[in-house]
Amino acid sequence: MKKQSKIGILFRMLKLVKPLTGFMLMAIIFGTLGFLAAEFIPILGGYAILEGLGMDTGLTWKMIVILLLALAILRAIFRFAEQRTNHYIAFTLLAIIRDKVFGALRKLCPAKLEGRDKGDLIALITSDVELLEVFYAHTISPICIAVVAETIMCLFIGSFHPLLGLVALGAFLLVGVVLPVIISKRSGDTGEEIRKQSAELSAHMLESIRGIDDTLQYSFGKKRLGEISEKTEDLSKRQSALSNLTGTNLAIANVLILLSDIVMLAVCMFLYQSGQIEFDGFLIPMIALMSSFGPVTALSALGTTLQNTVVSGARVLAIMDEIPETEDITDGVNVTFTRATAENVTFNYGGENEKSVEKNDKSVAAERNNILTDVSVAVERNKIVGIVGKSGCGKSTLLKLFMRFWKVKDGSIKISDTDIENINTDSLRDMESYMTQETHLFKDTVANNIRIAKLDATDEEVVEACKKASIHEFIMSLPKGYETEVGELGSTLSGGERQRIGLARAFLHDAPFMLLDEPTSNLDSLNEAVILKSLKAESKDKSVLLVSHRQSTLRVADDIYEMEVGRIS
């Protein structure tokens, strides 16, 4: 993630508001009018006092009462309208931003998300985006409102004597600008730390729940629990530090306001005694200043929250900026499958972006870390090609390259003799049925879990695929058959059952090129035999690339490639 300047981030976040500029202007106008209505209530009170003292203010008692009532009602209406508009803007923008984040994540799949901390990702999608609400609903318009409302107030106060206007300006700048800047410096990275720690805690919790079996087995529970309480304590310490800071800031703001009032009083007294202002010029500016700190105190609280907003904004923008390992191709060609080949492929997982940073160092390191070196494989039509090799030698990696999840570093992967870099992603996905080494199931019915391979599949097609994968009978034995719900990640099914559902998906997808990663590793020989028979029958008009450790499975293969840490012999 590249580091961006805070101003740069704020500016980019601001740019997102563009489609809603009209609403933003409305919010600012409503807000300004709302504050002015509130501030002029005590000021009118001041005029009432003057009237009571028998001074000529140009106002009658009746007018004052009517104006007071009108201001009170307007205050409520404007305030409501402002809040309503601000929240409309914020939630509309959050929806837009969420959409963009999901779009970005979708493009980054799977390569860029493989090694990422899932807790961090969840925090990004939920709390980071959520925090931006503060920026869009409670930051932009309050700043503009404060500028406009306080300028009007300075002019009003200044109309009695310019010096009084300047005193007011100084007071507003102190509370609304100087104080928030100091506060934001003081709070430093606390916001970012809190965000990081809470993401870590979520990830740790998630892992603990997933790994509960292993934890129990190895009596690892106490240590794990200790880690959780340690993380919780750290987090709560930081959170209380932050709220202490917020409390202190509020106190400082109040002291500053009080001091400003005293200065104003002194200046008013001086001007009154030296005859430069009348009594009304003493009373009204005094009341006006005392009642007009609302808009700037709203800003003094921003010091702490702005830090968090910038941090969250930076994360959200960074994920939108991240360059995917492979882009979806839409301007390439559509091809009909004839054969698939890997030609002198060399590959490592060192990302391209990192490489461009320190080109020399990294490329040397990358050479040493090559997972595949000069690998060539040919899968002809109507053939089953097997790949064997030690664990970790790069078999699954090769299949991912055929799927174009990653880009080769050298050589090429071709389908129908066209480099897959030039084939449209949709066309590629239509030609390939990929069964991963670990089948992921969704918390849904068995039927829906299989149907993800072909959304418009008829019930007959689903059953047909399940028979080929030797899972139909098992499904029928379930209490609700195909409508039985499987738990999260298929937790209510055995490893072999999950595997066979994965196979059923591959059969249902019915693509001309099947890539199967260890399809039988968890199966008994009876089920294996059924599946191999289906596979042999399927391969009549298909090509199959089969990764397996099992000799019995490899017996169906027409060609077998042996892989040795990245090379094929």
Residues found near ligand ATP in the complex (CB under 6 A): 114-115, 349, 371, 389, 391-397, 437
Q: Which tokens hold the place of 171?
A: 């007071």
Q: Which of 446, 354, 451, 275 is nearest to 111 (CA)?
A: 354
Question: What is the spatial distance between Cα 469 and Cα 508, in angstroms, rounded to a whole number?
Answer: 10
- Asked if residues 516 and 379 have their Cβ atoms less than 8 Å apart, the reply is no
Q: Minimal distance in Å, beta carbon 371 to Mg ion?
A: 11
Question: Considering beta carbons, is residue 388 or 420 the nearer one to ligand ATP?
Answer: 388
3-state SS assignment for residue 177: helix
| DSSP-assigned states of every residue in 492-549 | TS-HHHHHHHHHHHHHHHT-SEEEEESTTTT--HHHHHHHHHHHHHHGGGSEEEEE-S
Question: Considering beta carbons, is residue 288 or 387 the nearer one to Mg ion?
Answer: 387
Residue 241's contacts (CB-CB under 8 Å, 6 or more residues apart) are 190
Q: Minimal distance in Å, beta carbon 410 to ligand ATP?
A: 17
Q: Of Mg ion, ligand ATP, none, which one sits near residue 411, judging by CB under 5 to 8 A according to partner kind?
A: none
Q: Of Mg ion, ligand ATP, none, which one sits near residue 392, judging by CB under 5 to 8 A according to partner kind?
A: ligand ATP
Q: Which of 32, 309, 396, 433 binds Mg ion (CB under 5 A)?
A: 396
Q: Minimal distance in Å, beta carbon 85 to ligand ATP?
A: 46
Number of residues that bind Mg ion (CB under 5 A): 2
Element (H, E) at 432: strand 432-435
Question: Considering beta carbons, is residue 197 or 520 the nearer one to ligand ATP?
Answer: 520
Q: Of ligand ATP, Mg ion, none, which one sits near residue 115, judging by CB under 5 to 8 A according to partner kind?
A: ligand ATP
Q: Of ligand ATP, Mg ion, none, which one sits near residue 371, judging by CB under 5 to 8 A according to partner kind?
A: ligand ATP
Q: Which residues pair with 568 in a beta bridge?
A: 563
Q: Minimal distance in Å, beta carbon 419 to Mg ion?
A: 25
Token pair 């090769």 in the structure block, residue: 398
Question: What is the spatial distance between Cα 129 and Cα 165, in angstroms, rounded to a whole number?
Answer: 41
Question: Considering beta carbons, is residue 372 or 493 the nearer one to ligand ATP?
Answer: 372
Question: Considering beta carbons, is residue 341 or 521 the nearer one to ligand ATP?
Answer: 521
Q: Of Mg ion, ligand ATP, none, which one sits near residue 490, judging by CB under 5 to 8 A according to partner kind?
A: none
Question: Considering beta carbons, is residue 393 or 568 the nearer one to ligand ATP?
Answer: 393
- Asked if residues 407 and 352 have their Cβ atoms less than 8 Å apart, the reply is yes
Q: Of Mg ion, ligand ATP, none, which one sits near residue 394, judging by CB under 5 to 8 A according to partner kind?
A: ligand ATP
Q: Minimal distance in Å, beta carbon 418 to Mg ion?
A: 27
Token pair 């990929």 in the structure block, residue: 434
Q: Minimal distance in Å, beta carbon 467 to ligand ATP?
A: 28
Question: What is the spatial distance between Cα 515 and Cα 401, in angstroms, rounded to a whole number?
Answer: 11
Question: What is the spatial distance between Cα 311 and Cα 143, in angstroms, rounded to a whole number?
Answer: 19
Site stretch for Mg ion (CB under 5 A), options 263-271, 291-299, 326-334, 394-402: 394-402
Q: Which single residue brings its beta carbon nearest to Mg ion?
A: 396
Question: Considering beta carbons, is residue 285 or 566 the nearer one to ligand ATP?
Answer: 566
3-state SS assignment for residue 387: strand
Question: Considering beta carbons, is residue 161 or 400 the nearer one to Mg ion?
Answer: 400
Q: Minimal distance in Å, beta carbon 298 to Mg ion?
A: 57
Q: Minimal distance in Å, beta carbon 325 to ligand ATP?
A: 10
Question: What is the spatial distance between Cα 357 and Cα 227, in angstroms, rounded to a whole number?
Answer: 36
Question: Rounded to the nearest 5°, which phi and psi values hold at 50?
Answer: -60, -45
Question: Considering beta carbons, is residue 115 or 275 the nearer one to ligand ATP?
Answer: 115
Residue type, 157: I
Q: Minimal distance in Å, beta carbon 462 to ligand ATP?
A: 29
Interface residues for Mg ion in 409-448 (CB under 5 A)? Answer: 437
Question: What is the spatial distance between Cα 435 and Cα 453, in angstroms, rounded to a whole number?
Answer: 10
Q: Of ligand ATP, Mg ion, none, which one sits near residue 393, judging by CB under 5 to 8 A according to partner kind?
A: ligand ATP
Q: Minimal distance in Å, beta carbon 110 to ligand ATP?
A: 9
Q: Where are the alpha helices (DSSP H) in 358-490?
A: 359-368, 395-402, 425-431, 446-451, 459-468, 472-477
Q: Of ligand ATP, Mg ion, none, which one sits near residue 521, judging by CB under 5 to 8 A according to partner kind?
A: none
Question: Considering beta carbons, is residue 208 or 437 the nearer one to Mg ion?
Answer: 437
Question: Considering beta carbons, is residue 128 or 325 the nearer one to ligand ATP?
Answer: 325
Residue 309's contacts (CB-CB under 8 Å, 6 or more residues apart) are 131, 132, 134, 135, 139
Q: Minimal distance in Å, beta carbon 534 to Mg ion?
A: 22
Q: How many CA atoms lie within 13 A of 28 on its CB side?
A: 18
Q: Of ligand ATP, Mg ion, none, which one sits near residue 391, judging by CB under 5 to 8 A according to partner kind?
A: ligand ATP
Chain residues in the site for Mg ion (CB under 5 A): 396, 437
